């Protein structure tokens, strides 16, 4: 797997001007001047974050309408933050940005959240094929309890989830991923309906909220965790459970309590990293392309 190395990054983006050039390129590739219809390349305006048409003097500000528009943080720091966020296994905490870049925590946290937003998966097509489905709960007190206690609560489907926030995950094998913070009162089945196409083969554990899915979906396979069954042939929920471990490591890595309000951003970040796990060399570019 090719990597976008620190050396390559530094050579490509040595300063704020190089970063601005990149944003300009991404937004206005093959630009025709909207005012005079000239095709000569725009040139950079000194001491401004803008470029102008050599024919008529019309100016464009490439950061306008992007997350970089109102920031006083140098573009080179933003780029470095995106670099770190896309090249580390579990992401970088706001605390780490604060330390590394010598900026205040509030700015660092804003940056971290904005970058997570840029990473968010923007597709909303219902999943097809073989789809693993599972739910997990993060935060709160349950994590301190023994595994058997948590498992019993899960299997009973009871509300031993004090202070915990539920997340439901859908993974199409070899395809897309959706993870959704359960911050409203929709049932599991209602969430399934929104995220998974009827022609899918769905795999779940034996939680009773999933009973009867065979009526809606092409096929429903249940992996019975209560009876110690974890893999039967191709039927298991290991992929989605792998995402839960990744989500929990990501949250732990931030060293702060993630609130319900922000959890979806962490969830999206984990999904992004998983989806692009074989594209380490272009992950940085992908996130940048979401800026424009």
Site residues (CB under 5 A) for Zn ion, limited to 96-135: none
60 is an interface residue for Zn ion by CB under 5 A: no
Judged by CB under 5 A, the residue of 28, 58, 61, 235 near Zn ion is 58
Site string for Zn ion, 176-215 (x = CB under 5 A): ----------------------------------------
Give the nearest distance from C-beta 27 to Zn ion in angstroms.
16
Q: Go through 212-227 and write b for each residue having 16 or more CB atoms within 10 A of its CB, e for each that does not.
A: ebeeebeebbbbebee
Binding mask 16-35 for Zn ion (x = CB under 5 A): -----------------x-x
Closer residue to Zn ion in complex, CB, 53/131:
53
Kind and range of the H or E element at 77? Answer: helix 75-87
Is 201 in contact with 129 (CB distance < 8 Å)? yes
Q: 142 and 161 in contact (C-beta within 8 Å)?
A: yes
Does 36 participate in binding Zn ion (rule CB under 5 A)?
yes
The yes or no reply on residue 55 touching Zn ion (CB under 5 A) is yes
Calculate ∠ Cα 197-200-204, nearest 5°. Answer: 105
Question: Between residues 36 and 153, which has the closer beta carbon with respect to Zn ion?
Answer: 36
For residue 268, CA distances in Å to 113, 154, 202, 252 come to: 11, 24, 22, 16
What number of other Cβ atoms are within 10 A of residue 75's Cβ?
Answer: 21
Question: What sign for the dihedral angle of Cα 105, 111, 114, 119?
Answer: negative
Q: Is 53 in the site for Zn ion (CB under 5 A)?
A: yes
Among 18, 31, 38, 52, binds Zn ion (CB under 5 A): 38
Contacting positions for Zn ion (CB under 5 A): 33, 35-36, 38, 53, 55-56, 58
């Amino acid at each position: 797997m090719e990597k976008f190395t620190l050396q390559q990054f530094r050579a490509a983006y040595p300063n704020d001007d190089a970063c601005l050039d990149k944003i300009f390129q991404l937004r206005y590739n093959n630009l025709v001047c909207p005012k005079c219809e000239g095709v000569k390349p725009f040139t950079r305006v000194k001491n401004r974050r803008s470029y102008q048409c050599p024919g008529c003097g019309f100016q464009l500000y490439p950061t306008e309408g992007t997350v970089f528009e109102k920031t006083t943080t140098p573009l080179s720091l933003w780029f470095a933050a995106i670099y770190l966020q896309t090249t580390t296994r579990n992401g970088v905490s706001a605390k780490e940005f604060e330390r590394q870049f010598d900026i205040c925590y509030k700015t660092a946290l804003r940056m971290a959240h904005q970058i997570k937003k840029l990473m968010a998966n923007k597709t909303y097509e219902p999943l097809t094929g073989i789809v693993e489905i599972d739910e997990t709960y993060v935060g709160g007190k349950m994590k301190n309890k023994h595994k058997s206690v948590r498992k019993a609560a899960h299997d009973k489907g009871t509300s031993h989830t004090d202070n915990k926030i539920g997340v439901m995950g859908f993974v199409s094998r070899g395809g897309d991923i959706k993870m959704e913070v359960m911050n409203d009162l929709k049932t599991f089945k209602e969430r399934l309906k929104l995220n998974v196409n009827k022609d899918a083969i769905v795999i779940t554990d034996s939680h009773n909220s999933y009973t009867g899915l065979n009526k809606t979906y092409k096929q429903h396979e249940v992996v019975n965790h209560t009876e110690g069954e974890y893999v039967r042939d191709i039927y298991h929920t290991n992929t989605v459970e792998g995402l839960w471990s990744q989500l929990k490591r990501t949250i732990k890595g931030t060293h702060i309590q993630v609130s319900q309000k922000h959890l979806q951003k962490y969830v999206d970040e984990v999904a992004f990293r998983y989806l692009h796990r074989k594209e380490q060399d272009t992950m940085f570019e992908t996130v940048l392309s979401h800026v424009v």
